[in-house]
Amino acid sequence: MDCLFCKIVSAQIPANVIHKDALVTAFRDINPQAPTHILIVPNEHIGGAADLTPAHTPTLAALFAAASQLAAAKGLSGYRLVINQGAEAGQSVFHLHLHLLGGRRFAWPPG
Ligand code: AMP
């Protein structure tokens, strides 16, 4: 499968990887929207949030556990976690990813 994030997970293409475990990989977003902008992705290919099933529960837990650990490591007391599902919502890479954004104030509602 020709998937950018699968290739980052398998180190076929380079990325600034800052965490990897049995279930998830985290790396810096190439076009950061905040002082801290990290993407956390499942190691297995999942197209997006709409493709999640109960069988993915351990992977989903690992995504959020990595996010809270990385946020703590960066000293972030507040941060935003985002999953864009579908092109209408801004999804541009169709491999599930959690955006961890921090280091500035965020507006609500989001753009
Ligand atoms: P989304 O628009 O929610 O699908 O998010 C995809 C994110 O992937 C964007 O924030 C991009 O900046 C980021 N991105 C695209 N290519 C790369 C890459 N090679 N390395 C790191 N981040 C990337």
How high is the pLDDT of residue 29?
A: 98
Measured from CB, residues less than 6 Å from any atom of ligand 1 are: 4, 15, 27, 29-31, 39, 84, 90-93
How high is the pLDDT of residue 11?
A: 98
Cα distance between the two ends of the chain: 32
- Report yes or no on 35 lying in a domain: yes
**77-103 pLDDT, tens digit each:** 999 999 999 999 999 999 999 999 999
pTM recorded for the entire structure: 0.98
Eight-state DSSP code of residue 10? T
Eight-state DSSP code of residue 78? S
State the residue range of the domain holding 92. Answer: 4-102
- Report yes or no on 108 lying in a domain: no
Q: Which residues pair with 21 in a beta bridge?
A: none
**Ligand 1 test: best mutation among 8, 30, 81, most atoms within 8 Å of CB?**
30
Q: How far is the CA of 28 from the centre of ligand 1 (A)?
A: 9
- Report yes or no on 81 lying in a domain: yes
Annotated active-site residue 97? The verdict is: yes
Q: Which CATH number belongs to the domain containing residue 31 in this structure?
A: 3.30.428.10
Q: What is the pLDDT along the chain (111 residues), one digit of tens a residue?
A: 799 999 999 999 999 999 999 999 999 999 999 999 999 999 999 999 999 999 999 999 999 999 999 999 999 999 999 999 999 999 999 999 999 999 999 999 998
CA torsion angle 51 49 90 30 (round to 10): -110
Number of domains the chain contains: 1
Look at ligand 1, atom 12, and give the residue with the nearest C-alpha: 31
Q: With helix as H, strand as E and coil as C, how does 34-73 read?
A: CCEEEEEEECCCCCCHHHCCHHHHHHHHHHHHHHHHHHHH
How big is the CA angle at 5 (ends 14 and 80), to the nearest 5 degrees?
105
- Report yes or no on 64 lying in a domain: yes
Which stretch of DSSP H or E encloses residue 31? Answer: none
